[in-house]
Amino acid sequence: MAFVTGVRTGADARWLRRLRLGRDTAATLVCFAHAGGAAGYWQPLAAALPPHVEVLAVQYPGRQDRHREPAVEDLHRLAETITGVLTDDPRLTGAPWAFLGHSMGASVAYETAALLSRNADDGPGALFVSGRRAPSRPRRSTESFPDDHALLDKVRRLGGTDARLLDDADVQELILPALRADYRAVAAYTGTPGAPLSCPVVALAGDGDTEASVDDVAAWAQHTTGTFELRVFKGGHFFLADQWAAVARLVGSRLPGGPA
């Protein structure tokens, strides 16, 4: 597996959060969260990964400490901004790097990787996509959310957020603007066609995921000329929450410094 070195992160510290500094870092993993999600979602993975992996997570605008900023309602525009963050500042150099995205975050990671590969010939050494249909399998759905109650019910059903938080009026006031924007962005998203990537792609699927079936996740194979691997876990759309240790073993073994 060939890994690109010399990734540069942006001077704007709002965008990238270091969840863990690797000991004798052999690889850096950049994580992209789901719709409504934030950088801290990846903390359990960061804690479970081998010590040689440094973990960064993208903090999208419109949530947590960035809640006063408008969320981005176009995944391509979001990917363009993140691409700039990753290429405009040389503070982080030398470590091979990879992307991991879950659900909406998989699409953002993919589009960011495609931009880096196309514009700078400096894409990630590997892309891990989780719980997301391949761009060649767009969702044909009439699902709509006439009000915030319907949107919150959807999030409750998926199980990615503690239901007690979703029932708290103050929490709802904080999360709903970003949640609305993210779901609009996902609904409008059309993926970059073809196979713009040459890096290995590892796709993760939940065997009971109603948002992204195993077949739809397997179709990510069409979007790289590099190697492809599909791994299926027990669980629904947020299978990661019950599988952090297993996912960490998988990701860690595919990054430099992991088991041969």
Active centre residues (catalytic)? 103, 237
**Positive or negative, the Cα torsion across 78, 80, 81, 85?**
positive
Residue 62 backbone class (left: φ over 0; alpha: ψ -120 to 50; beta: rest) = left
217-221's contacts with Cβ under 8 Å and 24+ in sequence apart are: 217/129, 217/131, 217/132, 217/133, 217/134, 218/134, 219/133, 219/134, 219/136, 219/137, 220/129, 220/134, 221/134
Task: Write out the two tokens for 49.
Answer: 């990964």
- Summary count for the chain: helices (H), strands (E): 8, 7
Q: Contact, 38 vs 60, CB < 8 A?
A: yes
State the helix-helix crossing angle for 169-188 and 104-119, rounded to 10 degrees: 50
3-class DSSP assignment, residue 223:
helix
Strands 201-206 and 127-130: parallel
Phi, psi of 45 (to 5 degrees): -70, -45
